[in-house]
């Protein structure tokens, strides 16, 4: 059974660790993350972007697949199925499809419109027991065609959106999606501290978890970050392992072309990456 993400993130914030949000892109991805969470006795959030949802056959397909896998794989750790960077329409569609958690990304709107839309979606999601994340200050890089410059969120705006009753908050502190460039300035902890002071005890979210140095990750957790999103790192690990398998000619040996064999090294690489992140975030054994 899926759970919303509120309790797991409040617990993480209080106890000084973070729960990993790992984006899923297909059945193999989902299985890899779920197995790793169970093996490490770690709560986990399965993230689905609107693009990935469309790729997998729609939000209803994703929700039913994940629910069935949690049951048939006998997963006993807390699992939330979460919309990542949802549009207004996409957030409503995922609530209807049976997701247990959603993120409405209204950062592209002027703050008043962001607040109005977020308020409506908070009421809708909470009426159904679904947790909701909101965003202030666009996260840098590109996510499903939405490009952000790594803005620094305004703590006052963070306080306003938190007051609407959202369950956790994504605030830009210089983080970006995708690979970090060599000239990246790093996370702005001064801004993070101000956001923490302005928003009270709400769990904070760090997007763009790929490539952030371990010491920065740990410092961010100490300043209230309780959810860290990872996507690119799993994709890179999967691609590298699959490339190695094919370049070694293993797909031409016996039935090495069978998808179950062809994709196995990539799945193992995802599991290793997820396990490493769970250790770094401190969520191992926190069920």
Closest CA to 65 of 23, 112, 98: 98
How many degrees, rounded to 5, is the angle at CA 274 between CA 66 and CA 195? 95
Q: Are 280 and 214 in contact (CB under 8 A)?
A: yes
Q: Catalytic site residue 215? A: no
Q: Find the radius of gyration of the CA atoms of the chain.
A: 18
Which phi and psi (to 5°) does residue 80 adopt? -110, 140
Q: Considering Cα of 138, then 2, then 275, then 195, what sign does the dihedral take?
A: positive
Token pair listed for 222: 């100490």
Instruction: Please tell me whether residue 208 adopts helix, strand or coil conformation.
Output: coil
Choosing from 84, 105, 154, 167, the catalytic residue is 84
Q: Which residues are catalytic?
A: 84
């Amino acid at each position: 059974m899926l759970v919303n993400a509120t309790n797991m993130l409040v617990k993480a914030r209080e106890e000084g660790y973070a729960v990993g949000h790992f984006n899923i892109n297909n059945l193999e991805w989902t299985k890899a993350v779920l197995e790793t969470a169970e093996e490490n006795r770690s709560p986990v959030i399965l993230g689905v972007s609107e693009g990935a949802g469309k790729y997998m056959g729609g939000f209803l397909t994703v929700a039913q697949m994940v629910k069935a896998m949690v049951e048939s794989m006998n997963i006993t750790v807390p699992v939330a199925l979460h919309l990542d960077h949802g549009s207004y329409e996409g957030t409503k569609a995922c609530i209807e499809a049976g997701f247990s958690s959603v993120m409405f990304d209204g950062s592209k709107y002027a703050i008043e419109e962001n607040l109005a839309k977020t308020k409506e979606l908070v009421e809708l999601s909470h009426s159904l027991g679904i947790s909701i994340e909101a965003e202030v200050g666009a996260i840098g890089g590109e996510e499903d065609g939405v490009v952000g410059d790594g803005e620094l969120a305004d703590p006052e705006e963070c306080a306003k959106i938190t007051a609407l009753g959202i369950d956790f908050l994504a605030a830009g502190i210089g983080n970006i999606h995708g690979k970090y460039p060599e000239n990246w300035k790093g996370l702005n902890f001064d801004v993070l501290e101000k956001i923490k002071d302005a928003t009270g005890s709400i769990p904070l979210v760090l997007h763009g978890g790929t490539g952030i140095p371990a010491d920065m990750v740990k410092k961010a957790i100490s300043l209230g970050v309780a959810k860290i999103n990872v996507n690119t790192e799993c994709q890179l690990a999967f691609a590298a392992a699959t490339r190695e398998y094919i370049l070694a000619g293993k797909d031409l040996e016996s039935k090495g072309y069978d998808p179950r064999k062809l994709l196995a090294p990539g799945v193992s690489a995802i599991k290793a990456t997820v396990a490493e992140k769970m250790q770094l975030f401190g969520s191992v054994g926190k069920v």
